[in-house]
């Protein structure tokens, strides 16, 4: 355990940024936290969580996959990838840290997504334990401990300092690179901070959320439930929930003629959109109720079916906070039988 006095925080950031890119939560013009690259004068946000999750660093919203040039019957394929730089993401919360394992289960299995794999290998994640969880938080439902997040390095804010614990070789290397700024830390201070956070979590409105009515093996039982129609009636199909979600992994691939060749891009897609999975014959989910059901069945049933019971949600609460009509995964789980 190491200790970083807050008076040395900017020195810490400067030392890390001198060797690799450093990103941390920063308040935007309207006071909402977003991950931004650190430079001198930038202050870290005190917000509990960012508008969008840290998955952007490993699975960006848009990326250029490759390019093509054609002359007659000859096609030249151009690999546009550049060597990924080493980078550090500081201040990732427990929910977002847990989401990486879900993304890994999709993109690091055969066939491995080399774009995603490269970013995971080059990125170092410094997590921050939550001190003041919000009423929309329910990560504990999925066995995530907001007081002891995973990551290459875990940080706890105690009075006047951060306590830092390296969890991986990448984490040990990061702390070794700034060793002159660190002191020996106090385990007792961390335990006290953890106890306070866990006491808050136990009193949150969603602390007792049960998922007995959903999960692996429930496809046949839940697929034709009449409640899907009622639940989906007010859904706008805007896709906001999917774009703020740290575990959504759907994407579309499109080719654009630049006038000097073809550029192939990958961009996030949403199962809430009418053209999602559109094929030559049309769309297999033509109604909003079918698209709505797909989203929540995937999180609560299909993903657990294929991943030893692990749910495709980490309880970050972003969909609760951002949905314009206040429809979210918690309401769906309760309606389908997960009430306390």
pLDDT tens digit string along 126-173?
Answer: 999 999 999 999 999 999 999 999 999 999 999 899 999 999 999 999
What does the pLDDT read at residue 281? 67
Which residue's structure tokens are 């993109």? 107
Of the ranges 69-78, 96-105, 185-194, 219-228, which one carries the lowest mean pLDDT score? Answer: 69-78
21-27 and 87-92 strand pairing: parallel
Beta strand pairing call for 87-92 and 74-78: unpaired
DSSP structural state of residue 54: G
Which pLDDT tens digit goes with each residue over 197-215? Answer: 999 999 999 999 999 999 9
Which of 161, 164, 162 is closest to 151 using CA atoms? 164
**Ramachandran angles phi, psi of 315, nearest 5°:** 70, 30
What's this model's pTM, rounded to 2 decimal places?
0.92
Asked if residue 24 lies in contact with residue 38, where contact means CB atoms within 8 angstroms, the answer is yes
Q: How confident is the model at residue 285 (pLDDT cuts 50, 70, 90)?
A: confident
Distance of alpha carbon 170 from alpha carbon 151, whole angstroms = 10
Answer yes or no: are the C-beta atoms of 332 and 339 closer than 8 Å: no
């Amino acid at each position: 355990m190491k200790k970083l006095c807050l008076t040395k925080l900017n020195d810490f950031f400067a030392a890390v940024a001198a060797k690799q890119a450093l990103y941390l939560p920063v308040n935007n013009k309207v006071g909402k936290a977003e991950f931004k690259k650190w430079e001198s004068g930038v202050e870290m946000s005190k917000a509990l969580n960012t508008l969008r999750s840290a998955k952007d660093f490993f699975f960006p919203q848009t990326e250029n996959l490759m390019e093509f040039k054609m002359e007659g019957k000859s096609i030249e394929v151009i690999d546009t990838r550049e060597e990924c730089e080493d980078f550090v993401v500081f201040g990732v919360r427990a929910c977002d840290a847990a989401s990486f394992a879900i993304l890994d289960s999709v993109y690091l299995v055969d066939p491995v997504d080399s774009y995603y794999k490269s970013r995971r290998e080059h990125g170092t994640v410094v997590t921050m334990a939550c001190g003041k969880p919000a009423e929309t938080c329910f990560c504990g439902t999925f066995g995530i401990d907001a007081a002891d997040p995973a990551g290459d390095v875990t940080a706890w804010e105690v009075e006047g300092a951060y306590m830092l614990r390296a969890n991986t070789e990448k984490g040990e290397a990061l702390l070794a690179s700034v060793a002159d700024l660190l002191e020996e830390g106090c385990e007792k201070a961390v335990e006290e901070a953890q106890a306070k956070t866990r006491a808050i979590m136990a009193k949150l409105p969603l602390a007792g959320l049960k998922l007995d009515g959903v999960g692996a093996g429930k496809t046949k039982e839940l697929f034709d439930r009449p409640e899907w129609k009622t639940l989906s009636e007010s859904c706008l199909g805007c896709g906001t929930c999917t774009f703020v979600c740290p575990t959504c992994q759907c994407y579309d691939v499109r080719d654009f003629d630049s006038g000097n060749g073809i550029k192939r891009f990958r961009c996030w897609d949403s199962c809430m959109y009418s053209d999602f999975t559109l094929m030559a014959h049309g769309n297999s989910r033509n109604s909003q109720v079918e698209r709505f059901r797909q989203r929540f069945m995937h999180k609560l049933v299909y993903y657990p079916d294929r991943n030893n019971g692990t749910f495709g949600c980490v309880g970050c609460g972003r969909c609760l906070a951002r949905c314009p009509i206040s429809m979210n995964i918690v309401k769906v789980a309760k309606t389908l039988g997960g009430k306390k």
